[in-house]
Amino acid sequence: MENKRHLNSLMKKRLYYRQKSILEILQLFNKKIIKNNFQKYLFLFAQCQEEPVYNFLPSKQGPYSFQAYKDIRFLEESKLIHLDKNYIKLQINKSFFDELKLKDKKILLNLKSKFNGYNEENLLKYIGKKYSYFINQSKTNNKNYLNEEQINSQHILFTIGYEGKSIDLYLNQLINNNIRLLVDVRKNPNSRKYGFSKKVLGQLCSKVGISYQHIHKLGINSDKRKKLETISDYENLFSEYKRTILENNQEILFKIIAKIKYKQRIALTCFEENPNYCHRKQISNEIATLNNNCDFEVQHL
């Protein structure tokens, strides 16, 4: 009765489709899966989808999703699943199978047919053969397929926005471009989207070998971004930003240039997907103008 009340309460809030997928994978595998194997099953499911419910990062234990981990904890707190020392167990009898897309139903049924009974070693072997990127252990130390000579010869200042991205997809972009330092240029680095508030973003960057730094002085007050409707509005905002914030914080910009000179690959980050509507492009332009002794390029991810 208690679980039913929790479920009814949760249904009013509505579960995300990706969370229903987690519950249905557990349902298909006899309501319990070894904890070390669960994200591997979820990964194999997502790799077959047209629009993956989760993105994954490489790790020593195989593909891993921070967002999936967050959702698993949410479902546990909601008493829909239970985690003990060895297993993730389904705690409810309700099935969400009929609520899934037809293609996803077929993927799940094939997943059970093909991999039911696989132990962790066999799952890793399969993933390693077909998706070697995700079990490349060097990835966890933030090294990709560039060798050190290539890395040292490339002076690049990156910029990246997180709009429309999961935290796992976002971090993968940083890893694949061998970013060593993420510089957050938001005035107020808060976000309702998991993974992008200052504290959590810094923690997750650290887990994948990326340093994190927040420079609030380079941010724009949120009230100045209200009612931006035309290109002219943005041009006026960025013109004022350059005259005030950037000109008053030249010392900070020169410090960023110094780090680029010492071959530290840096990415400036903010929210907007399109850099043309974000002040991070104005910062990268100003850094390029100030730079005299170090040739580098700017890339917007």
pLDDT of residue 138: 45
For 3, which DSSP code? H
The CA distances from residue 16 to 19, 23, 77, in Å, are: 5, 11, 15
**Distance between CA atoms of 45 and 51, rounded to whole angstroms?**
11
In DSSP notation, 188-234 reads S---SSTT-SHHHHHHHHHHTT-EEEE-GGG---GGGGTT--SHHHH
User: Which residues of the chain are modeled with pLDDT < 70?
Assistant: 1-13, 136-154, 263, 292-294
Sign for the pseudo-dihedral over CA of 143, 146, 149, 153: negative
pLDDT of residue 155: 76
pLDDT of residue 5: 60
Reading the block at residue 109, the tokens are 């049924």
- Tens digit of pLDDT for each residue in 150-208? 455 567 899 999 999 999 999 999 999 999 999 999 999 999 999 999 999 999 999 99
User: So where are the chain's domains?
Assistant: 2-140, 142-300
pTM above 0.95, yes or no: no
Domain 142-300's class? alpha beta
**Distance between CA atoms of 119 and 59, rounded to whole angstroms?**
18
**291 touches 250 (CB < 8 A):** no
